[in-house]
């Protein structure tokens, strides 16, 4: 890694950046497949520790939000598929170790499902993420998005 100029600070922790790293303002994996290449993907200075830590938080949030999106939603084109691949659904690719890690992630996420009846009518449901039309309440689930801090 190249050294960053001494006056640069991490946008997250405000500490001087010793090794160059940039954080995408809007994570790259969150862009739908239909996003034109001409859309600017802004980056900000970030230290590697913050970038890695927040990248894990962003991945966890993407899994929880993406699993709630219908695969036919044009505005989210490709995102549900990315999430399913992350969970090892719909593809046998990767090494045995990778498949095992994806399986563990899937088990963890499915273990966090809550029957929709437990949250129906309560505040905190993200607009546009549920419930899904055409499915009975007892066929639907919710998933909690926790504060990572």
pLDDT for 112-146, tens place per residue? 998 988 888 888 777 667 777 888 888 888 888 77
pLDDT band at 28 (very low <50, low <70, confident <90, very high): confident
pLDDT, one tens digit per residue, over 85-118 is: 888 887 666 788 988 999 999 999 999 998 988 8
pTM (predicted TM-score): 0.77
DSSP 82-116: HHHHHTT-S---S-HHHHHHHHHHHHHHHHTEEEG
Q: What is the pLDDT of residue 144?
A: 80
Long-range CB contacts (within 8 A, 24+) of 89-96: none
The predicted pLDDT at position 137 comes to 85
Instruction: In whole angstroms, give the CA distance from residue 133 to residue 140.
Output: 10
Q: Residue 8 — φ and ψ, nearest 5°?
A: -80, 140
Q: How would residue 45 be classed by pLDDT, with cut points 50, 70 and 90?
A: very high
Domain boundaries, the chain: 22-143
């Amino acid at each position: 890694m190249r050294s960053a100029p001494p006056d640069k600070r991490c946008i997250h922790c405000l500490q001087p950046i010793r090794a160059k790293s940039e954080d995408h303002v809007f994570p790259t994996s969150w862009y739908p497949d239909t996003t034109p290449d001409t859309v600017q993907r802004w980056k900000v200075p970030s230290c590697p520790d913050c970038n890695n830590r927040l990248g894990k938080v962003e991945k966890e949030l993407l899994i929880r939000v993406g699993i709630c999106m219908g695969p036919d939603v044009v505005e989210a084109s490709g995102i549900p598929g990315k999430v399913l691949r992350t969970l090892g659904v719909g593809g046998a690719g990767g090494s045995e170790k990778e498949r095992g890690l994806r399986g563990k992630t899937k088990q963890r996420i499915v273990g966090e499902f809550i029957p929709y009846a437990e949250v129906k009518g309560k505040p905190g449901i993200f607009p546009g993420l549920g419930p899904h039309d055409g499915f009975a309440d007892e066929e639907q689930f919710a998933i909690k998005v926790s504060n990572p801090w």
